[in-house]
Amino acid sequence: MTILTVKHVTTYHYSEPVRLGEHRMMLRPRDSNDQRLLDARLDIEPRPQSLRWIHDVFDNCVAIATFAGLTKELRVGK
């Protein structure tokens, strides 16, 4: 079996402090008959006030993050 490692980082920079709304993120690959997920991590800065996981109607894993306060940057990934 071939093992792949995927690292993804997205960074948003804002010129002025902003209040972040709810973010829905679909960054985790699905398990299937020919593909198995061994490990998945989600690092977010600033740290979300809450983070919950759901599955949508297509069985995608969706992370829903809400934030408190203001920020000039949002980074998802390491």
For the chain, what percent of residues have pLDDT higher than 90?
A: 65
Cα–Cα distance measured from residue 69 to residue 18, given in angstroms and rounded to the nearest whole number: 8
pLDDT of residue 1 exceeding 80, the answer is no
- pTM across the whole model: 0.83
Inter-residue contact 7 to 78 (CB < 8 Å): yes
Band (37; pLDDT cuts 50, 70, 90): confident
Mean pLDDT score, 29-38: 84
